[in-house]
Structure formats: structure tokens, C-alpha cells
Amino acid sequence: MGVAAANNKRHGAYAVVAITKHGVEIARRLGGALAGADVYYTDKFARGDEAKHGIRLFSGNVRALLPELFARYDGLICIISLGAVVRMIAPLLKDKKTDPAVVVIDDKAEHVISVLSGHLGGANELTRRVAAILSARPVITTASDVQQTIAVDLFGRQFGWEWESADKLTPVSAAVVNEEPVAIVQESGETGWWPEGRPLPKNIAVYGSIAEALAARPAAALVVTHRLLAPEEEAILQNGVLYRPKVIALGIGCNRGTSADEIEAVIHETLNELRFSMKSVKAVCTIDLKKDEQGLLEVVNKYRWELVAYTPEELNTVSIEAPSETVYRYTGAYGVSEPAAKLYSGADRLALVKKKSGNVTISVALIDHQKKATMQGKGKEACDGLSSPHREAAPAKRP
């Protein structure tokens, strides 16, 4: 099987590449144990069962194969000498935000080494997984991992938090690992970003507000909020990273045929009025009559938001401030945007109850993760409905 033919097939997340007899044994072990792994090795060591196991064979120098795998996979696991891998991938490197994870395994499977994209690309985590499968020693040199402190570029990533800007990632990371005073201010978002029962490093302190953090004069800061900062607060970002947690639920109702441009403009205008960030929007919530509304679908697909649709009966279970008999006659619900936002967020009060603008009605809710965590501690039933739809959730299609 040639390389070109193999690469036209659907592929997994990781490519495992081997060029030696012992490397082939290791690659085959990983192919059977690591989910999402595609195995590639030289046809010199073909056994005749490769097609049965979905293994790709290649001929010639692996150097010719690596550029295509580098572009196609989320991670490369190379059972090749570290120096050779470094030389082969050097011309392919672009940016740590886009380069795949690269992991190297020695020919006896004694060490698994995280080589490239340790944090953002997931090489460190992949190294641990592969080492566990092979009973090998993981070799990770990233300072934050070694020191067991916060990885600034991964902070909140498991929750879907986004950076406002990556400009200060490097200097803030340096402050963290060099044990300089670092402030954390969290106004919204999930609270479980640090392992429970393990104390924060001594150089990191959590403050109740940006003003308190500024007064402490830290060397760096991590700020987690859905708000647009006021001018007097922006000094915290001189050496700080601003994270946007996904905490905003938009309840939206609209007339049939409303354009995506009009819906998007109303969302922009409304969030700017509230001084909220678009990057913190998690979901658009509406009535099930609108789940196929083209304008809504275009907007949620553009921003990769979740689209959640509720039945009229579900919407009518929610107490709202402005029930409408007119809306009821047309939809069977006494409101759309207000109860939809409340249902999804679990909020008792909304940041914006309801605003009518042209063909669009919008309500805005914030998901209170601290409240959710407290209620979860009281039992599952107490927190039903918080930040999860009661019913059908239609995820936005990925481009």
C-alpha cells in the first residue's frame, strides 16, 4: 500500500510512526490500545495482516511521509530517535497554537518524551497516556508541569474558556513558574480549575475584585470574567491574561425569515450595552418552532454556539415578568426569550429581562457556577436544569 493511498482514507487523531523492527512491535501495541491511533510503518517489516488491522505501510524514507502526517493529525507519536525527529519537523513548525503534538518513544519503549506543543497541542497529556499503556517513563520538561503550578495557556481550557488575547501568555507564564506574585481574579465561570485538596502555590493569590488585585501590585494576573473591563481596571492586563468563561445564555425569539445579519446585530448591540463579551456566550435558547430558523442557525454556526430549543410546555413552567397573550396565540408559550434563557441558565434573575428590537426579541442570563456547585453539594435533584437544557439540545454544526 502506498503512502498516497493510505492518506486518502479517514484518519484518527494520532499517527504512530515506526521505522525499525522493535519500533514496529511498539507501534502495533499502541495501535491496539490507544483510541484514535493510526499506525504507519515501513513495508520492510510487513507481516501480511496490516490491511486487517488498518495499518498503513510506506516505502522509502520516512522524511517524505512526515510533512503530510504533520498537517493531517492532531498528534504524531514517533518511534524514532529524538534528534532525527527534531531535524525532520524543524521545517514544518509554524505556531504553538496550530502545530500538532509530537511525542517520541525510544526503541525499547523505556521513555516517552513530550517534544512539541506540550500544552496547547496536548503532547504532555498524550505522553502520559502513551507511557501508561507501555509502562514507560513519561519525560515532560514544561516548567509548570514539573513544578505542579498553573499552566497559563491551559487555564480553564477544560471548561472552554477563551483568551481575550495571547499577547501576555509568555510573560505571565514566566511569572508563574519563577514564583513571582501572581493574582487571580474570578468573577464568573467554573470554579474547579485547581485540584481539590491541593493548596495553591504560595506565589499565587486569589482576590475578590480587580481593585483588590491592583492594590496588591502583583507581578502578573489571571482575570476570569464575562465583563468588558472599565478603563481603570485595564491596568491589571499590563502583565495579565484575560479569560472569557462561557457563562452567557441568550434567549432569542424572532419573526419567521429574520436575517442572520439582523439577529447578529441585535446580539452585538445588546451585549455592548450590558458591557458583556461576545466570547462568553455559551448558548442561544429559543422555542422549538424556531429550531430550524435559518437566520438563527447561521449565527450559531458562525460563532460555534449551542442552539437549544424548548417546547411551549417547558417554557410555560417558568415564571416570567412579561407574559404575552399575543405570543401565546402564535406559539403556545407566554414568552420565548425570557423563559428560554432562564431554563438554560438556571438563573432566578436575568441580566436583561427582555428587549424588542426590530424582528428580534432578546433576553440575557448568566450561568452562576458558584450557585451550581453549592446546589450540587446538596444533591443531584437540587441542581437539575442549571446550565443544561431540560430537553433537546441541537449543537451548532462545525464549519
The answer on 93 and 37 residing in a single domain is yes
Domain boundary (141, 165, 197) is at 141
What's the number of domains the chain is made of?
3
The answer on 280 and 201 residing in a single domain is no
Supply the pTM of this predicted model.
Answer: 0.71
Domain boundary (228, 244, 260) is at 244
pLDDT value of position 8:
38
The answer on 283 and 169 residing in a single domain is no
The answer on 311 and 284 residing in a single domain is yes
Q: Over its length of 399 residues, how does the chain's per-residue pLDDT go in tens digits?
A: 334 334 434 478 999 999 999 999 999 999 999 999 999 999 999 999 999 999 999 999 999 999 999 999 999 999 999 999 999 999 999 887 788 999 999 999 999 999 987 666 788 889 999 999 999 999 887 766 656 678 888 899 889 999 999 899 999 999 998 999 999 999 999 998 988 888 999 999 999 999 999 999 999 999 999 999 999 999 999 999 999 999 999 999 999 999 999 999 999 999 999 999 999 999 999 999 999 999 999 999 999 999 999 999 999 999 988 788 888 888 899 899 999 999 999 998 999 999 999 999 999 999 988 765 554 444 444 444 443 444 444 433 322
Residue 146 within any structural domain of the chain: no
How many whole angstroms separate alpha carbon 124 and alpha carbon 144?
Answer: 11
Q: What are the strands, taking DSSP E only, across 133-203?
A: 137-139, 162-163, 182-186
The answer on 374 and 362 residing in a single domain is yes
pLDDT value of position 118:
63
CB 391 within 8 A of CB 310: yes
Residue 113 within any structural domain of the chain: yes
Domain boundary (244, 277, 293) is at 244
How many whole angstroms separate alpha carbon 30 and alpha carbon 10?
Answer: 18
Using alpha carbons, select from 61, 122, 125 the residue that is nearest to residue 88.
61
Residue 147 within any structural domain of the chain: no
The answer on 300 and 365 residing in a single domain is yes
The answer on 164 and 121 residing in a single domain is no
Task: Give the CATH number, domain containing residue 190.
Answer: 3.40.1390.40
Residue 23 within any structural domain of the chain: yes
Residue 286 within any structural domain of the chain: yes
Task: Give the CATH number, domain containing residue 365.
Answer: 3.30.420.180
Task: Give the CATH number, domain containing residue 100.
Answer: 3.40.50.11220
Domain residues for 20?
A: 3-141
The answer on 268 and 132 residing in a single domain is no
CB 369 within 8 A of CB 247: yes
The answer on 218 and 124 residing in a single domain is no
